[in-house]
């Protein structure tokens, strides 16, 4: 089978993203090609939901091809993205005498990927990690670039490390089992890539967003959209692995999005839905500051509507509820926050630090 390949540079050397419908069947062969011999232990880290849908099948496939598999499942959901969950996984792997040469395959969405990657980065001071993302956010964003970690009661992703994987294997057909709401939520991240600089993706979404948001899952169209986003992400993290410049652009919509997720206890809005609203707020702030061109907010709203994503601010959430979490955002310091604001569709700027207290005027 022919799969698309995208190379990523990292401080630990280059790694390849392989992408294509049907890649899941090739995983044992890909593992061998990557230099992991049969008969040696492989970890398959997943979560309870993905276990039933996909991890049992992958585990059997690996065993059949001669890989002894150690399975571990996190509980499903952002509320379990904690040090306790990470410790349970470490306990299990250490109890079976894990060795540095044994790889971990991390199969799941963003939460599982972040925690599995973190386990890989601290276990025995680092074991090889291969990400096999099964959600839109995982496939277009979080599996690429080596960010790993857990949440803290003070905010999202406040504990973690940069730990580049050995490989990322993306099979868009995994998305078929997601609920329609989850799949549409992932489109919030896809729209983000178009807004921050991918002009071809902007054009593509104009014609493809309806198909991507529809109930019927179109593998080919999804593969194209994921390839565009994954290529953008690979280029950005290759240039700025540790997020000192252009990688910050990926946070477009996330400063307010993360705070929204936190304030609703990760129960109200899905990640991509919160990012969508966060992009609208960014456009409003940009407009107030004279940075964002007229019509940009309307284009974001139009994309979100086509994707069936929320575009109106939740009435029950006020700015003062968010402020505490904005203060704890990794990008804020001394009550000031660096913002990524749109200039126009396809172009964003990173602004100087703004006083958090003045940002409230962008929220109704």
The three-point CA angle 289-293-294 to 5° equals 105
How many whole angstroms separate alpha carbon 363 and alpha carbon 60? 50
* Active-site entry in 131, 183, 184, 271: 271
Return the half-sphere exposure (C-beta side, CA atoms, 13 A cut-off) of residue 352: 1
Cα 51 from chain centre? 19
* # residues contacting ligand GLY (CB under 6 A): 7
- Rounded Cα distance between 358 and 362, Å, is 9
The encoded tokens of residue 357 equal: 């207290």
Which region, left, alpha or beta, applies to residue 181 given φ > 0 means left and ψ of -120 to 50 means alpha?
Answer: alpha
* Residue 189 C-beta: closest distance to ligand GLY, Å: 8
Nearest distance from C-beta of residue 12 to ligand GLY, angstroms: 16
- Is 192 one of the binding residues for ligand GLY (CB under 6 A)? no
Q: Is 308 a catalytic residue?
A: no
Measured from the CB atom, is 151 or 243 closer to ligand GLY?
243
Nearest approach, Cβ of residue 21 and ligand GLY (Å): 24
Catalytic-residue membership of 21 = no
Between the alpha carbon of residue 136 and those of residues 141, 230, 261, 263, 360, the distances in Å are 8, 11, 17, 23, 31
Measured CA to CA in angstroms, residue 192 lies from 20, 164, 205, 290 at distances of 22, 23, 11, 21
The answer to whether 251 is a known catalytic residue is yes
Q: Taking Cα atoms as reference points, which of 151, 144, 106, 156 lies closest to residue 127?
A: 106
Beta-bridge partners for 166: none
Catalytic status, residue 258: yes
Using CA atoms, how far apart are residues 225 and 2, in angstroms rounded to an integer?
A: 18
Which is the catalytic residue, given 147, 166, 184, 192?
Answer: 147
Q: Which residue's CB is nearer to ligand GLY, number 174 or number 252?
A: 252
Residue 308 in the binding site for ligand GLY (CB under 6 A): no
- Is 258 one of the binding residues for ligand GLY (CB under 6 A)? no
Give yes or no for residue 198 binding ligand GLY (CB under 6 A).
Answer: no
81: contact with ligand GLY by CB under 6 A? no
Work out how close the CB of 249 gets to ligand GLY at its nearest, in angstroms, rounded to a whole number.
9
- Determine if 185 is a binding residue for ligand GLY (CB under 6 A): no
**Cβ proximity to ligand GLY, 42 vs 196, nearer residue:** 196
CB of 145 to ligand GLY, least distance (A): 4
Binding to ligand GLY by CB under 6 A, coded x per residue (else -) over 224-253, reads -------------------x---x--x---
* Residue (of 265, 263, 360) closest to 319 by Cα position: 360
Q: Confirm whether 262 is a catalytic residue.
A: no
Confirm whether 223 is a catalytic residue: no
Contact 107, 132 (CB under 8 A): yes
Q: Is residue 147 part of the contact set for ligand GLY (CB under 6 A)?
A: yes
19 binds ligand GLY, rule: CB under 6 A: no
Should residue 255 be labelled a site residue for ligand GLY when binding is judged by CB under 6 A?
no
Q: Within 125-144, which residues bind ligand GLY (CB under 6 A)?
A: 141-142
Task: Report the distance separating Cα 254 and Cα 162, nearest Å.
Answer: 19
Task: Catalog residues that contact ligand GLY under the rule CB under 6 A.
Answer: 141-142, 145, 147, 243, 247, 250
State the catalytic residues. Answer: 125, 147, 189, 233, 243, 247, 251, 254, 258, 271
């Amino acid at each position: 089978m022919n799969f698309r390949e995208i190379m990523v540079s990292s401080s630990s050397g280059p790694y390849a993203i392989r992408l294509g419908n049907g890649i899941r069947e090739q995983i044992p062969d890909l593992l061998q090609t990557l230099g992991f011999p049969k008969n040696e232990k492989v970890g398959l880290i997943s979560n309870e939901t993905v276990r039933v849908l996909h991890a049992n099948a992958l585990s059997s496939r690996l065993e059949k091809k001669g890989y002894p598999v150690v399975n571990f499942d996190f509980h499903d959901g952002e509320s379990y993205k904690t040090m306790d969950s990470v410790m349970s996984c470490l306990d299990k792997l250490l109890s079976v005498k894990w060795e540095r040469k044994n790889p971990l395959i991390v199969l799941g969405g963003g939460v599982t990927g972040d925690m599995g990657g973190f386990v890989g980065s601290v276990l025995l001071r680092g074991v090889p990690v291969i990400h096999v993302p099964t959600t839109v956010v995982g496939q277009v964003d979080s599996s690429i670039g080596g960010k790993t970690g857990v949440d803290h009661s003070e905010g999202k992703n406040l504990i973690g490390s940069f730990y580049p994987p050995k490989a990322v294997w993306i099979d868009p057909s995994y998305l078929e089992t997601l609920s329609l709401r989850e799949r549409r939520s992932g489109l919030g991240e896809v729209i983000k890539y178009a807004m921050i600089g991918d002009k071809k993706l902007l054009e593509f979404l104009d014609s493809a967003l309806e198909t991507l948001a529809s109930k019927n899952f179109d593998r080919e169209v999804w593969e194209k959209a994921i390839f565009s986003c994954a290529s953008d992400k690979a280029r950005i993290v290759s240039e700025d692995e540790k997020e000192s410049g252009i990688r910050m652009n990926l946070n477009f919509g996330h400063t307010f999005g993360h705070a929204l997720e936190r304030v609703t206890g990760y129960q109200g809005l899905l990640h991509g839905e919160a990012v969508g609203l966060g992009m609208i707020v960014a456009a409003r702030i940009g407009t107030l500051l004279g940075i964002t061109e007229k019509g940009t907010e309307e284009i974001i709203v139009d994309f979100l509507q086509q994707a069936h994503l929320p575009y109106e601010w939740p009435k029950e959430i006020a700015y003062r509820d968010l402020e505490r979490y904005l203060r704890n955002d990794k990008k804020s310091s001394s009550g000031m926050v660096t913002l990524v604001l749109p200039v126009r569709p396809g172009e964003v700027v990173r602004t100087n630090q703004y006083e958090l207290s003045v940002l409230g005027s962008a929220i109704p």
